[in-house]
Amino acid sequence: MFTRRDFLKTTAATGAFAVTSGLAMPAIAQNAPIKLGYVSPQTGPLAAFGEADKFVIDSFLAATKSVGLNYEVVVKDSQSNPNRAAEVAKELIVTDEVNLVLVASTPETTNPVATTCEAEEMPCISTVAPWQPWFIGQQGNPGDPASWKPFDYAYHFFWGLEDVIAVFTNMWAQIETNRQVAGLFPNDGDGNAWGDKTVGFPPVLDKMGYALTDPGRYQNMTDDFSAQINAFKSGQCEIVTGVVIPPDFTTFWNQAKQQGFAPKIASIGKALLFPQAVEALGNAGHNLSSEVWWTPSHPFKSSLTGESSAEVAASFTKATNRPWTQPIGFAHALFELAVDVMKRAADPSDGDAVAEAIAATRLDTLVGPIAWDGKDLPPFAAKNVAKTPLVGGQWRLKDGGGYDLVITDNKTAPNIPVGGKMEPIA
């Protein structure tokens, strides 16, 4: 198959692209911008992940322009749909002719985009999806580890299931329970990975002495969780965990209250990341817990602007009148990486050169150090995945209204400060 990348290599060889290797930021053509494609779910049930996109991209373009760098960002909305994500990725490559694709937020967005980029030999950096559903979900046969192979153009940075399991169980250990756990896992990339009997929660919880009640996979946008709630009540579950899209958790939690299911702990991935999702629950969001990837108190700075996490979060609130949200840090880091990679790439118009520069990355970013060095990873994922730190936190009602996210566990990342201890749900 003759890909767009083959075309670019041919035209580069015939002199269609001018590259000045001695400059700090090589140009792709005379006065032409370096073109970045960006895909995220800005509408649909995953839209909370894309809330900060406009702020991050506007800030990025202003920052690069202020230091004389010429960048263009072509933004595409996946509409929270995997098929749409693949479609717009192809548009970025074939129609928009971008030099690098950036993609964020859940396997339903990152996986189809990364798969399309890999097939088209387009370098791609993705984030905001645990590495297992990202890497394993793209394999030709996800059920056969012997067949798994690394990618040449797709690179990912985030934490893994091993990290979120450690964070959740560390938080649970702070409260006395009967160790009966309710598992709420949807039929999607995240849910299938989190509930997997080999790489997910079940084997680890069993080894740690927890009993998991898993009533099976449900479809996203379910409007009736009675079957799950009845199973959890029968199992006398005092802990609820899972990875749920925001509207589904609102439905589940409201129905749980109505049907008399009152666990002591609810540690939920995805749905409880966002202040607006917790605010939608009214007072019922108090002491719900979640994994925490980034906050204003994280001790990291932007390599692009020099701003601290606190300064970036404050800028977002000033610009939008909205509370900070976790994806800000990782969307910002994607663009930090793009500048660093393009600065180092021998030829920004050559996908192989850009992919080589990604693989060689060693950069301190707003979400911590990022390096594709294989640290703390199994060999099959070492080339393509970079790990970032993870802690755990609880949402607490504020006296004046709204919620604060308080970090309650940092055993997996002691350099990130805690703000309190776990409290049971009232």
Mean pLDDT of successive 10-residue segments in the chain (426 residues)?
A: 44 31 42 93 94 97 96 98 98 98 96 98 97 94 92 98 96 98 96 92 96 97 97 98 95 97 97 90 95 96 97 97 95 98 95 98 98 94 97 93 93 95 95
pLDDT of residue 399: 86
pLDDT of residue 2: 40
* Domain span at 139: 34-159+298-386
Q: Looking at the structure, do residues 206 and 86 belong to the same domain, yes or no?
A: no
**Residue 19 falls inside a structural domain:** no
Question: Domain holding 170: CATH number?
Answer: 3.40.50.2300
pLDDT of residue 18: 27
pLDDT of residue 421: 97
Residue type, 392: G
pLDDT of residue 400: 81
**Residue 221 falls inside a structural domain:** yes
Could you tell me the two tokens for 50? 């894309």
Pairwise CA distance, residues 97 & 308, whole Å: 33
CA-CA-CA-CA torsion sign (387, 392, 395, 400): negative
Q: Looking at the structure, do residues 247 and 352 belong to the same domain, yes or no?
A: no
Q: Looking at the structure, do residues 226 and 142 belong to the same domain, yes or no?
A: no
**Residue 25 falls inside a structural domain:** no
Q: Looking at the structure, do residues 64 and 111 belong to the same domain, yes or no?
A: yes
302 and 365 in contact (C-beta within 8 Å)?
A: yes
Pairwise CA distance, residues 171 & 423, whole Å: 10
**Beta-sheet strands, E only, within 299-384:** 362-365, 368-371
Pairwise CA distance, residues 412 & 163, whole Å: 7
Q: Looking at the structure, do residues 403 and 275 belong to the same domain, yes or no?
A: yes
Q: Looking at the structure, do residues 317 and 405 belong to the same domain, yes or no?
A: no
Pairing of strands 368-371, 362-365: antiparallel
Q: Looking at the structure, do residues 59 and 154 belong to the same domain, yes or no?
A: yes
Pairwise CA distance, residues 232 & 214, whole Å: 8
pLDDT of residue 27: 44
pLDDT of residue 295: 95
193 and 217 in contact (C-beta within 8 Å)?
A: no
